Amino acid sequence: MTTLRIGTRASALATTQSGLVADRITELTGIATELVTVSTEGDRNDRPLTDFGGQGVFVSALREALLAGEVDVAVHSLKDLPTAPAAGIALAAVPTRVDPRDAVVARDGLTLAELPPGSRLGTGSPRRAAQINALGLGLEVVGLRGNVDTRIGKVRSGELDAVVLAAAGLRRLGRIDEATELLDPLQVLPAPGQGALACECRAGDEVEPLLARLDDPATRTAVVAERSLLSALEAGCSAPVGAWAEVVSGDDGDELWLRGFVGAESGTPFIRLSATGSVRDPAGVGERLAAEMLAEGAGALMR
């Protein structure tokens, strides 16, 4: 193998993320790489994700290119991956996670709490809308899609007072200084898998063990728990569900902590619960927390 073809979406953030993976592959294996851009349904359609499915709209075209042999690796934002396994495809690596928090970019350097009631805050995420509305700050949460430049541009032009984006994206683009606040994940839980990348290849391909060298066990454990919660709730990646897992040191060794949120976009009602368990069974921890949330009525909040 002389050159590894890495499939990526064409946005600045996607190519930056994929470029980081490409550099790491070359560093670890000595194999040259090239980026191959692939247009996805989510990139071609500017309607709200909930209007045209949401599940897999940023992923399917990359997976099709992978199975067709047009690329050797596909790099995704892990939060965009459907929770169901894809036939013929292996999740070969989950590299070390970057900051999972949400970031606020607001006019005049303001934080959420400093924005006057009635301020217009943009987000395309029902999860963010639900949790920000639950804070009771009196903000007007409005729908928003587009790349980082488009979203921040709405604040710079005065069309919006603030937007909320993933801190990881701003960090990878070298733009984290534009954030006026990083939201405490105990206050606003991130999306399952937020801040992590997913490196996929064809199952059984010679690339799979090479990619495995990029895998970070603690990150994989955390995102397996988060995605198991999402799957057990039977919720899609655009549902108003937040989850955040951490591997922490306990008296008897490493433990897994998982926190979950499900809420109505209006902010009420909502359910926020947590669970702990073994790092050896992250899927079980996620499923157990989901069962507790469903018992509290989480299913009705996602309809």
CATH number of the domain within which 250 lies: 3.30.160.40
- How many structural domains comprise the chain? 3
Does residue 188 form part of some domain?
no
At residue 167, the 3 state secondary structure works out as helix
Range of the domain at 269: 223-301
Task: Tell me: do 70 and 41 sit in the same domain.
Answer: yes
pLDDT at 17: 97
Under the banding of pLDDT at 50, 70 and 90, the label for residue 7 is very high
CA-CA-CA-CA dihedral for 21, 23, 28, 33, to nearest 10 = 90
Residues 80 and 200 in one domain: yes
Average pLDDT of the residues in 272-301: 96
Antiparallel, parallel or unpaired: β 102-106 and 181-182? antiparallel
Residue 148 forms part of a structural domain: yes
Query: What pLDDT is attached to residue 1?
Result: 66
Mean pLDDT over 259-274 rounds to 95
Q: Do 51 and 16 belong to one domain?
A: yes
> Using CA atoms, how far apart are residues 228 and 56, in angstroms rounded to an integer?
17
Looking at the structure, tell me whether residues 115 and 167 fall in a common domain.
Answer: yes
Question: Would you list the DSSP string of 202-270?
Answer: ETT-THHHHHGGG--HHHHHHHHHHHHHHHHTT--TTSSEEEEEEEEEETTEEEEEEEEEEE-TTS-SE
In this prediction, residue 139 carries a pLDDT of: 98
Residue 274 has pLDDT above 80, yes or no: yes
Shared domain for 56 and 123, answered yes or no, is no
Give the active site residues.
80
Output the CA–CA distances (angstroms, integers) from residue 270 to 133, 254, 301, in the order listed: 11, 30, 7
What integer pLDDT is reported at residue 3 of this predicted model?
95
- Looking at the DSSP bridge assignments, the partners of residue 35 are 6
pLDDT at 41 over 90: no
Does residue 86 fall inside a structural domain?
A: yes
CATH number of the CATH domain containing 61? 3.40.190.10
* Residue of higher predicted confidence among 48 and 178: 178
Does residue 190 lie within any of the structural domains? no
Predicted local confidence at residue 52, as pLDDT:
42
Same-domain status, 121 and 74: no
Q: At what angle do helices 148-156 and 12-29 cross, to 10 degrees?
A: 140
Indicate whether 295 and 262 sit together in one domain: yes
- Rounded to two decimals, the pTM is 0.92
- 275 & 230 share domain: yes
Shared domain for 23 and 85, answered yes or no, is: yes
Contact status, residue 79 vs residue 194, Cβ threshold 8 Å: yes
pLDDT of 46 reads 56
Residues 87 and 201 in one domain: yes
Q: Between residues 122 and 55, which one has the greater pLDDT?
A: 122
Q: Does residue 45 share a domain with residue 163?
A: no
CB atoms within 10 A of CB 203: 15
Identify the pLDDT of residue 215: 98
Cα–Cα distance between 233 and 260 in angstroms, integer?
Answer: 11
